[in-house]
Amino acid sequence: MAKKEIRFSLVYRDMWQSSGKYQPRVDQLVRVAPAIIDMGCFDRVETNGGAFEQVNLLYGENPNVAVRKWTAPFHKAGIQTHMLERGLNALRMNPVPADVRELMFKVKKAQGTDISRSFCGLNDHRNLKLSIEYAKKAGMISQAALSITHSPIHTVEYYLQVVDKLVEYGADEICLKDMAGVGRPTFLAELTSRIKAKYPKIVVQYHGHSGPGFAPASMLEVARAGADYIDVAVEPLSWGKVHPDVITIQQMLRADGFLVKDINMDAYMQVRSLTQEFIDDFLGYWINPSNARMTSLLVGCGLPGGMMGSMMADLKGFKAAINASERANGKPESTLDSLMVKLFNEVEYVWPRLGYPPLVTPFSQYVKNTALMNLLALSQNKPRFSTIDKDTWGMILGKMGKLPGKLAPEIVALAKEKGMEFYTGNPQDEYPDELPKFRQMMKDEGWDCGQDDEELFELAMHERQYRDYRSGIAKERFNKELSELKAKAGAPIVVKRPVVEMPEFDIEKYVEKYPKATPVQAPVKGKILWQIDVDDASAAPVAGTPVKAGKACGYVQTYYGIEEIIPALDGRIVAVTAAQGKDVVKGEIVAFVE
């Protein structure tokens, strides 16, 4: 009997996104492509999609040029390229009109992307229907992804029902997207086997992160069960919160009797060296060293490893507030480690009560944020779910798709108490077409829509970032931030340059004075602008200023534009901890509201 062949895909884009903030520049990508090809072991390379295009804009580079130049050498070598897109959200974090989604597939196919990997964080097949139809209409291979997680309701039967709909819509392939690496190996094997038994012509590709340590076992089990492709990474970015290295997986599968391609180790070392060079050049300044480590703590909570950096920053921002409340209520103070364990436990408590949304962007952030606010509420002797942000409410109410599980009765009662209505329609129906508006914008600005309407697409998909790219502001801000980080580092970058850690803020005096107040956090790193275009440091709101839940009470000037500061509840500001113009980091407490 002939050996079954297992083929590899190098997820070069996701390697970087799971490690840090930025992707290599186009000149760097063009340099590393020949070495990746010379490795001789890859049938596919993930080249773009996800955050790829957006981060190009953030540092002032045209993503359309990057995609065309990056995919070209792989096409010439006969290697397929694939992208990642988020279904209803396409290439961004919020819903996208249908006509813009359709244009995306036309543009990406014209630019040289062969396969579209489409996923919905809720596994709502309705959000993937148009992705499948538009990808195939554009001439792409449609690979529909299942967001894999581990819960009582995410059974093999649950996923097979989703697969049935995806195949009905015309999907060519199925990807098991194990974004947190928490899929249990035997479970994934059964799911793969059942898919292959029912749809023998459907290609199955497995994508698993290393984070909690299951990935190599999962890769072996899905291969034995009939998977066709396995996603892998290369050093110095493999393992940690990223993906297993191709060398280990290739040797493991070969020892198990599979047919796998040889690896040209000279080329591997060249890819390794070039990737390190890119880290040393500038990318390492945004790579947190914790992402180089795996942790079994992720097994229980199911959070994706890539969230660890932002989550620890959030915890540091809340630590003083929680400790002050604990002292005021006669409770022992928490260390950062004990807070982390409490947060993981609270995520486990919150997750089923919010309907078991798979913990992938943005739903992982919603669950984590709710758990964090619960910890603060409990430290203040308030009930859980006292504070839920508007985006999380959007998920709860069905605005982003159908939740896999049932909401807890207390969440349903809370929604009714607030006069909120649940939505059961198709999420796409809430977002009307917008391309005519953006075509007019291009005309008004005197901008060409570009080859295959690719510049029009970038404006429609990432309007704010595209405008900053066109004006040169994006490049200016990026260079300024990079200069500041280099000045702080003061030494050559090591393999993983630590990011600047969030400082411990001296806010205990505010917390002790207002123990029941709710903190307002900076949504991103940048400069506080309580009032835009005001230089006076006294421009911050005074105590007593009323605020409304979900309505901006201030802003943060970032390198890519303005982000709103949104309070989570109605009330009045009792204290401001960040003056107008102050540099803040994501998660920093900037005010308190009662």
Confidence (pLDDT) at 511? 63
Confidence (pLDDT) at 530? 87
**∠ CA 76-78-83, rounded to 5°:** 95
CA distances from 466 to 58, 463, 559, 561 (A): 8, 5, 13, 10
Q: How far apart are alpha carbons 146 and 167 in whole angstroms?
A: 12
Residue ranges of domains in the chain: 7-288, 297-429, 514-593
Burial class (CB in 10 A: 0-12, 13-18, 19+), 189: buried
Q: How many helices (H) and strands (E) does the chain have?
A: 22, 16
> For the chain, how many residues are written?
594
Task: Work out the angle between the directed axes of helices 26-38 and 265-281 (0-180°, nearest 10).
Answer: 160
Helix (H) or strand (E) holding 207: strand 203-208
Provide block-wise average pLDDT over 10 residues at a time, the chain (594 residues). 90 92 94 98 96 91 96 98 96 93 98 98 96 98 97 96 98 96 97 98 97 96 98 96 97 98 98 96 87 83 68 73 78 82 89 92 86 86 88 91 95 94 94 97 97 98 95 93 85 41 49 74 83 67 84 78 79 85 80 86
Task: Tell me yes or no: is domain 7-288 CATH 3.20.20.70.
Answer: yes
Helix, strand, or coil here: 401?
Answer: coil
322 within 8 A of 328, measured Cβ to Cβ: no
Q: How far apart are alpha carbons 9 and 24 in whole angstroms?
A: 19
Confidence (pLDDT) at 141? 98
150 within 8 A of 302, measured Cβ to Cβ: yes
The residue written with tokens 């070209």 in the block is 72
Rounded to two decimals, the pTM is 0.83
Q: How far apart are alpha carbons 567 and 312 in whole angstroms?
A: 21
Give a three-class secondary structure readout of 9-67: EECHHHHHHCCCCCCCCHHHHHHHHHHHHHCCCEEEEEEEECCHHHHHHHCCCCHHHHH
514-593 sits in which CATH class?
mainly beta
339 within 8 A of 375, measured Cβ to Cβ: yes
